[in-house]
Chain A
Amino acid sequence: MAGRVVLIEDEANIAEAIRFLLSREGWQVKVHADGSDALAVIEAEAPDLVILDLMLPGKSGMEIIREIREVEAMAHLPVLMLTARGQLKDREMAERAGVTRFMTKPFSNTEVLTAVRDLNAQAQQGMPSVSSICDAG
Chain B
Amino acid sequence: MTSLNLLAMVSIGYVTLLFMVAFWADRQALRGRSARFMRSPLIYTLSLSIYCTAWTFYGAVGYAARSGMEYITIYLGPTLVMIGWWWGLRKLVRVGRSQRISSIADLLSARYGKSNVLAIGVTVLAVIAVTPYIALQLQSITLSVAIFAEADPTRSHNESGTVFWIATGLAFFAILFGTRNLNANERHHGVVMAVALEAVVKLIALVAVGIFVVWGLAGGVEQVLDRVDQSPIGGWQVDGGRWTAITFLAASAFVCLPRMFQVMVVENEDERHLRVAAWAFPTYLLLISIFVVPIAAVGLELLPEGANPDLFVLTLPLSQGQNGLAMLSFLGGFSSATSMVIVAAMSLSTMVSNHIVMPIWLRTTGAFGGASVSGDVRSVVLFARRFSIAAIMGLGYAYYQISGGGAALAAIGLISFSGISQILPALVGGLFWRGATRSGALAGLFIGFTVWGYTLLLPEVAGGVFSAETLMQGPFGLHWLRPQALFGIEGLDPIVHCVLWSMSLNIAAYAIVSVCSFPSPMERLQGAQFVHVFDHSAGPGGWTGSVAQSEDLMIMSQRILGPDEAQVFFQAALKRQGGPGPLPEPTPVFLEQLERELSASIGAAAAHAMIGQIVSGAAVSVEDLLAVADESAQLLEYSSRLEAQSQELSRTARQLRETNQKLTQLSEQKDVFLSQVSHELRTPMTSVRAFSEILRDEPGLNAQEQHKYASIIHDEALRLTRLLNDLLDLSVLESGEVTLNVSHRHLSDILDHAVASALAGADGPLRVTRDRTAEAMEVETDVDRLSQVFINLIANAQKYCTAVAPELQISVSNTNGQVHVDFCDNGVGIPADFHEMIFEKFSRATPERAGGAGLGLAICKEIMRRLGGDISFQPALAGAAFRVTFPIQMKIEEIR
Contact = CB atoms under 8 A, between A and B. Distances in A.
Contacts of A108: 689, 693
A14 B847 contact: no
Interface string A17-41: 1101100100000000110000000
A85 B842 CA distance: 14
Contact of B679 (A12, A14, A21, A55): A55
A64 to B, nearest CB: 16
Considering residues B697, B712, B716, B847, which has the most beta carbons from chain A within 10 angstroms of its beta carbon? B847
Given A10-B847, A12-B849, A109-B693, A17 B682 contact: no
B818 interface: no
A17 B694 contact: yes
Contacts of B846: 57
A15 to B, nearest CB: 10
A14 B686 contact: yes
A86 B694 CA distance: 23
B182 to A, nearest CB: 94
A137 interface: no
B698 A11 contact: no
Given A85-B678, A87-B675, A20 B694 contact: yes
A43 interface: no
Considering residues B675, B680, B715, which has the most beta carbons from chain A within 10 angstroms of its beta carbon? B675
A106 interface: yes
B685 A105 contact: yes
B690 A14 contact: yes
Nearest to B688: A106
A106 B688 CA distance: 9
Interface string B693-726: 1100110000000000000100110000000000
Contacts of B715: 13
Contacts of B848: 10-11
Considering residues A13, A17, A104, which has the most beta carbons from chain B within 10 angstroms of its beta carbon? A13
A13 B678 contact: no
A21 B694 contact: yes
B694 A106 contact: no
A123 B683 CA distance: 29
B847 A106 contact: no
B694 A57 contact: no
A100 to B, nearest CB: 20
B691 interface: yes
Contacts of B682: 84-86, 104-106
A33 B848 CA distance: 10
A21 B687 CA distance: 13
A87 B677 CA distance: 13
Interface residues of B, number: 24
Nearest to B705: A20
Interface in A1-19: 10-14, 16-18
A86 B681 CA distance: 12
Interface in A57-77: 57
A55 B847 CA distance: 10
Contacts of B716: 13
A27 to B, nearest CB: 15
Contacts of B712: 13, 16
Interface string A103-132: 011111110000000000000000000000
A84 B679 contact: yes
Contacts of A86: 678, 682
A78 to B, nearest CB: 21
B690 A109 contact: yes
A24 B698 contact: yes
Given A16-B712, A21-B694, A24-B698, A105 B683 contact: yes
Nearest to B697: A109
Given A11-B848, A33-B847, A84 B690 contact: no
A20 B708 CA distance: 12
B173 to A, nearest CB: 109
Interface string A89-109: 000000000000000111111
A106 B682 CA distance: 6
B679 A17 contact: no
A33 B675 CA distance: 23
Contacts of A106: 682, 685-686, 688-690
Contacts of B675: 85, 87
Nearest to B696: A109
Considering residues B678, B686, B712, which has the most beta carbons from chain A within 10 angstroms of its beta carbon? B686
Considering residues B675, B683, B685, which has the most beta carbons from chain A within 10 angstroms of its beta carbon? B683
A20 B847 CA distance: 22
B281 to A, nearest CB: 98
Contact of A18 (B679, B689, B690): B690
Contacts of B698: 24
Nearest to A57: B847
A57 B678 CA distance: 19
Contacts of A87: 675
Nearest to A104: B682
Nearest to B701: A20
A17 B687 contact: yes
B843 to A, nearest CB: 13
B687 A13 contact: yes
Contacts of A109: 690, 693-694, 697
A11 B693 contact: no
Given A10-B847, A106-B686, 20 more contacts: A11-B683, A11-B687, A13-B691, A13-B712, A17-B691, A18-B690, A21-B690, A24-B698, A33-B847, A34-B847, A84-B678, A84-B686, A85-B675, A85-B678, A86-B678, A86-B682, A105-B686, A106-B682, A108-B693, A110-B693
**Which 3 pairs across A and B sit closest by C-beta, in order of nearness?**
A17-B690, A84-B682, A13-B687
11 contacts: A13-B715, A13-B716, A14-B686, A16-B712, A24-B698, A84-B686, A87-B675, A106-B689, A107-B690, A109-B690, A110-B693
